[in-house]
Structures are given as C-alpha cells and as structure tokens.
Chain A
Amino acid sequence: MSDNVEKYIKRKVYEKENSRIAQKFVDAGLEKIRSCINCGTCTGSCPSGRRTAYRTRSAIRKALTGDESVLQDIDIWLCTTCYYCYERCPRNIPVTDMIIKLRNIAVEEGYILDNHFNLADKIFYATGHGVPATGEDNKKWRDLRESYGLPPLPPTVHTHPEALKECQELMKSSGFRELMDNVAEKKKKAQEEAERQKEEVKDK
C-alpha cells in the first residue's frame, strides 16, 4: 500500500470470536462480567475517570470484545479500588473485582509498571512489608519510632526473621516467586525487542 493509503485506511476487524480474555474470566468463575449492559454507572461513579483517561466501562467492554490493548494500558492501573462501581452496578457485577482480574491477567502476561514490579519483587518479597523500615535509607523512620517511645522496629517480620522466611516459603509455594521471575523474563525480552527495533530504525 502506498504511504497515503496507509495513513488513512486502518482496517480493524472486530473480533467476534470468544474473547481470550473473556474466557479467562469465565474460567475463573467471573462469568457475571458477560451480563454487562454498558449502562455507564461505573464510569459515572469513578473518581479516577473524572481526572484521568481511565474509563471503567470501556475497560470491561474491551475485555469482553477481545481488545487486547487493555492489558497493556496504564489506565487499568489508575483505579483506586474505591468500590463505588461495585456497589452501584444494576446488574450486580462486582466491577472492582473484574478490574483486579484484568490486572492479574496483565501481570501474568508481563505487563506491569516498573514501580509495581520493584515493589513486589525487591521490597515485598525481600522484606515482607510493602513499606519497610529496615535498611540504611529508612534509619530516620526507626529513629522516629524511638522518639515516640516505640521500639525501633515493630514486632513484625522485621524482628522475626523466621517469620519472613515463612512468608517467602509461602510465596514460593503459591507461585508468586515464579510469577515475578516470569515477569522479569518478559520484561527483559520486551526491552531487548524495543532496543532491537530502535537499532533497526537507526539503520534505516
């Protein structure tokens, strides 16, 4: 096709087959998503949608119609899980749980923000806390605790190394460790692919 035609003709085939993503929902027992009638109550209730490009209803619709771009979109990560959509849906769909499931699928396929990946892998797995107080960088927080008469570290995994080991064992057992490793792999591949494409363009 000549350049001109490519610019204007964008053939988009509407995937009428059972959406791969929708099937995952059904398999997970979340088939309720299919009764969505697109009334828009969810988007209308969404405090994030009012200030970002996130559209609750559209995310659900894309999942149902097989628009895979929804998994790579940052928009589904801008939901604060305030649960208003869940409470008000007239079809009684647990909307927030659907968005969480979409995020699960995205992570499985390697689509996760770097911030989140570091939080999961380097902080949560490593320390057992999402917001830790151990390490050099966090000395001021330990000092702050002491200034209020509390022990520098709380009686959590921070002061019970065997408990941290337990958590890590559980995370290996539940598949979390494997998931993180897979994601790291996929991210590395994606980065290499991006670099390769940059080179290709440069060569041109």
Chain B
Amino acid sequence: MTEIQEEIKVTAKDVPRIGVYVCHCGINIAGVVDVVKLKEYASTLPDVVLAREYKFMCSDNGQKMIKEDIEAGLINRVVVAACSPRMHEPTFRLTCKEAGLNQFLFEQANIREHATWVNMQDPEGAYDIAKDHIRMAVAKARKLVPLQVQKVKVEPSCLIIGAGIAGMNSALDLADEGYKVYLVERSPTIGGHMAQLDKTFPTMDCSACILTPRMVDVARKKNIEIMTYSEVVDVSGYVGNFEVTIMKKPHYVDQEKCTACGACVEYCPVVCGNEFDLGMGTRKAIYIPFPQAVPGEYTIDMDKCIKCGICARTDVCEPEAIKYDDKPEYVKVKVGTIIVATGWDLYDPTELEQYGYGRYLNVITGLQMERLLSSFGPVLGKPVRPSDGKPPHTIAFLQCVGSRNFREGGNTYCSRVCCMYATKQARQYKEKHPEAEVYIFYMDIRAFGKGYEEFYESAAENYGIKYVRGRIAEVYGGENDSIIIRAEDTLLQTPIELEVDMFVLSCGLEARADSDKVSSLLSIQRSADGFFMEAHPKLRPVDTLTDGIFVAGVAQGPKDIPDTVAQAKGAASSAAALMAQGEVEIEPYFSVVIEHLCSGCRSCQSLCPFGAIDFDEFKKIAVVNPALCKGCGTCVSACPSGAMVQNHFANFQLNSIIEVALKQPTIENGGK
C-alpha cells in the first residue's frame, strides 16, 4: 500500500516550477528521435527547472524519479513526454497524488502516437513535432491550477438490456451478489436465440435442457425484476446515476390474471406465421413464443388479431384475463450500471441471388434448419424438405454465407460459430438418417474451441459427412424441386455439379438492425462491423467507452455460448466492482459559471447536450451540475459574455498552447 502524502498547497499565484520527463518508451520513441536532445530542448524552455529522460517512465523507477523530485520540493508541475495520455495519464496522475502534488498539475505530451509512430520514416520531422508537443505541454503546465475530483454515489442496481443467455447470466450473478437487477427483454419471453437451438456443440447438450433451468432461476430470484415485452425508450444521467424510462408494451392479456391454461389458443380463429420458427411453423394471434417460455403468460399480437371477441368469453378465459383496451405502461427506474446484451440477427441471404433463397423452396438458412431439427419445432425434430414434406436424402451446407465478404456492403468478419453449427446439424441429421449424404462446402473450417477439432474429426470419421473445399458459386432448380449446385473442388481442381434435395445456407451473425438506435440511446459506440465497441480490444472487452455501461455476448461480436457466458459473467463482475465501491470518481472537467459575468441569457442551457445546466431563478444565472457535465465545451463557446470557464481546458490555458505552437515554425520551407 503506497502511502499517499498529504497534498502540498499550490495556487495559481505560485511561480511554476516545471519538471519535464522525456520517455524513451523502449525504441518506440528513442528509435526515431534523440531523446537526450529533446530533454535538453525541454530544459531551455522558460519555467522548466529540470528535465530528465528515462527508458520507461511508466515503470516503478520512472515514477520514483518524479516522486523524488516532488518530495524534494524541486517542482510543482509535472510534464511527461511519452505515449498517449489515454495510456498512462491515470498512472502519472496517481504518481503525483502519491507524492503529494495535486494530480491535475500534471500534463502529458504525446510524442509517441503523434510524433514518432506516425513519422517513422522521417526522424527529422518527428523530432520537430515532438519539440512542438513538449513546448505546448509546458505552456499548458504553466497555467494549470489544482482541481479536486468529484465523487458521486453509485446506485446498487443494474439495468440489463436483453434477456438471452448473456443477459440472464449477468442477471443471475449480480442478483446473487445482492444487487437489484432490471432485466428488460423486447420479446414476450426471456431465453433469446438459444431457445431456438436444438443441440449445442460440441457436447450435444440439448439447448432447452440447459437453458430452461436458468430461465426458471432468473424468474425465481427476488432481486431480478423481469420486464418482458418491454423496451428501453430513454436513458439519461451518468455513471452510477442513470435514469431509464422503460416502455412495457401492452400484452392485451392481464399478466396477473392469466393462468397460462392455453384455452384461448384452441379457440382463436387466426392462424399466422410463427417468428420463433422463422415462418416454417404457425401460431395463433394469442400465443406464447414456445412452450417453455418464461414468463408463461400469453400475449395477443394486435397486428394479427381480428378482435372477434371469442377469447374474451368467460367460458373460454375463465380468469377473464383478456384486455382489449390495454395500453403501454411507462416505468422509470434509477440504476447505477447498465449491461447491453442485445444479441444478434441472422444474416438474410435473399440478396445473394445466386443461392436462390426465396426463389427455390428447398433453400433454407441454418437457423431454419435448427428449427426443423428441434424436438418442439414445426416438424418435431424430423427435418423434411419444404417442397414435399419428405426427408431429404442429399443435403448440402454452404459456409460463410454473408460473412468474410469483402464486396461492397458485405460483412467482412468471420461469424465464428457457423463451421461448428453446420457440423453439428450435419451430424444430427446423419444420426436420424445414417444413409443420407451430407456435404459441407467450405473455404476454411474453423474449429477453434475446446473439443471443437475433435468434434469436426468425428463428424468426418464416424458420421461420414463429406467436406468439400470449394465455395458454391451458383445453384439452379432441378426436377422435383431439387437444387443443382455448382462449385469447384479446389483440392482436385475440378468444377463439380451436384444435385441435392435440400440446400442449407450457414448464414452468419449480424448486429441487430436497430443497433444504431440503441447506440444513440446509450451514447455508446459501434465498431466498423456494426457490433458494439469494447473500450479496448484486448484489455477491456466488456467495458464500453461510456463509464458505467458494459456490453456482453454477441452484442459485442460473434461468439459461441461458452464465450458468451464467460463475457456475461465478466460484465457482471465489472458492474459489481463499480457498484461495490459505492461511489465513483468523476473527472473535474466540468464548466463553471463566473456569476458576475453571466447575463442570464440561457443560450448555454438550450445548447447543452447533456442537460447539465439549470437556471437559478433567484440569482437569474446559469448553474452547472458538475456530475452531469461531460466537459464538451459547447457552453463555453456559446456564452456571449465569456462567463463560462471549463476546468482544465480554460481559454487562458488553451490560448497559451496556441501561442507557443504558432510562434516557432517547424517546417523549414512554407511553415508558418
């Protein structure tokens, strides 16, 4: 435990005594520029009392250097010229704090990402830019004033958006740790896509058998409040204090009175396509998505309901639970953390016209095949051809449909699970029909997980599934609704034609169609592939760049069930860590109103994107809520009176940087 010294009193009136530390960063900086020369340059700058250089400033020894200088009273401002502040600003701030110097009297000059890393072929140019950065950081350091961090309380409750296997696992862990969980799910049941799967690879566990006990667990836990058939419509606030508005869609069936007896279903005259079975099965207008749905109460799909009134008859629904005049209900909750576990959509292969999806009856997607194989699916687990209801003798699977596609608008990433799910489905079909001929056409087989390679080997050796290395180019219809496939067996270098009874497209996973709405609702980012962006691809896989909001499961990127559960538990742990501390530090970059300059025009209030500015009716001036303020600077530039000052980024601080940046030209010819 490092002893934290008591903070030395430093005010703006004190003469700045700046210490500059130039880091080699191994060869990242020192390999391109002469750090000793940079150090010497730094020591020539006004108000710099000492300059040092060291191999790795972030190391213990490097930090010790700074601490010793502070404790010896030599310096009252610190500038470290090294990597990006995103890397180590917190490190060096803590170093200052531990040595007794206010942590906001520290400034970092980025001479790695902004100088040496982007100019590796031009050492002279890199050196000039590095000098600029050091000079600018020193200029700012001169004007820095001590600030205090804000501490805000963290509500010990978490909102989890999405109740698939990821959302449910996070919910269970957090509930067990004693936190209140609001589990919001858009569809009428929890369980997500995993409920649609039949068996799971590589163990061949029945998906429903491992999922439904968890679903029941989730329903039983006192700390978890399940809100199905609900959507988050508004989120405001900040880490530890999110205010969320949830819309509970009308079921048109009183959820308290409904006993889930199912009598209404027998009488309902409307038969429509079943989303759960991807259009291959039917349901009534009043329904539950699948038999083991949790909650088990029914819902009426008003788009399909003809309001015949039969289900409302007392001899049909004895508890009189039907409510045609049901309305949406809006609920407001306050939570400390949010976990986004919204899952995925399956890629729609209709646009790949060469594969005939939507034109030929016997071309189906992998998820449709999954429903055919499912024991509570439309054919009770005995897959048949959509055209004639007979079991197919020859089946072909095509991998990488909608994935690994570098064409315009295509998903370039690998969806990770398709090689395994196709192998699994092929194996399941062979178990039911050992005489069937099953082909899997692939570009690469990715069997990366625990037990996966063995599963793949067994599929070929024990089940006789034929793997052909060649991506199918096109298909056309044959007699009796058969599908004729054209591909190249690349290992034999021969074009082949194959007639099959059924063609399964192993479609990839995509970000949900409305991810952009969720993104803007929560102010979280998406990666180029459309999935939600993690804060750091290696070291912070469950955090988002917005404090207090975490992401888990396929919402962050395609992955299998083991990885999803692991990530869900990780997100729960991160959320719990935040909530366990009970309070969180917020950086003091907020704006401050200079009261005597404020004219009360309220321009700032109408422009603030975070609703952080209130109006004091008595004093007739603007007031900033430091916890809501994110330091964006909009109010500062809008204020006509110059009454807004931004902590740590005040105009007088920024102006001094600009002045020194412009004074010395760095490009010999043409530089200003």
Contacts and interface: CB of A to CB of B under 8 A. Distances in A.
Q: Do A and B bind each other?
A: yes
A45 B473 CA distance: 5
Contacts, number: 75
B490 A40 contact: yes
Interface stretch (B106-114, B404-412, B609-617, B648-656): B404-412
Contacts of B470: 39-40, 43-44
Contact of A57 (B406, B408, B488): B488
Contact of A39 (B354, B471, B495, B497): B471
A88 B473 contact: yes
Contacts of B493: 43, 55, 57-58
B436 interface: no
Contact of B495 (A49, A89, A91): A49
B275 interface: no
Contact of B487 (A40, A55, A90): A40
B362 to A, nearest CB: 20
B473 A41 contact: yes
Contacts of B486: 44-45, 50
The size class of the interface chain A forms with chain B is: 20 to 34
B404 A90 contact: yes
A41 B471 contact: yes
Interface string A80-108: 00001000111110000000000000000
A90 B473 contact: no
Interface size class of B (residues with CB under 8 A): 20 to 34
Interface string B337-362: 00000000000000000100000000
Instruction: Determine chain A's interface SS by DSSP, over half rule.
Output: loop
Nearest to B400: A90
B512 interface: no
Contacts of B400: 90
Contacts of B405: 90
Contact of B471 (A35, A50, A58, A90): A90
B474 A43 contact: no
B393 interface: no
A25 to B, nearest CB: 18
B490 A38 contact: yes
B204 to A, nearest CB: 29
A44 B473 contact: yes
A37 B495 contact: no
B443 interface: yes
Given A37-B443, A58-B493, A92 B473 contact: no
Contacts of B489: 40
Interface in B392-444: 400, 404-408, 410, 443-444
6 contacts: A40-B473, A40-B489, A41-B473, A49-B495, A57-B488, A90-B405
Interface of B: 354, 400, 404-408, 410, 443-444, 469-474, 486-490, 493, 495, 497
Interface of A: 35, 37-46, 49-50, 55, 57-58, 84, 88-92
Given A57-B490, A88-B354, 8 more contacts: A39-B470, A40-B487, A40-B490, A41-B473, A42-B488, A45-B486, A88-B473, A90-B405
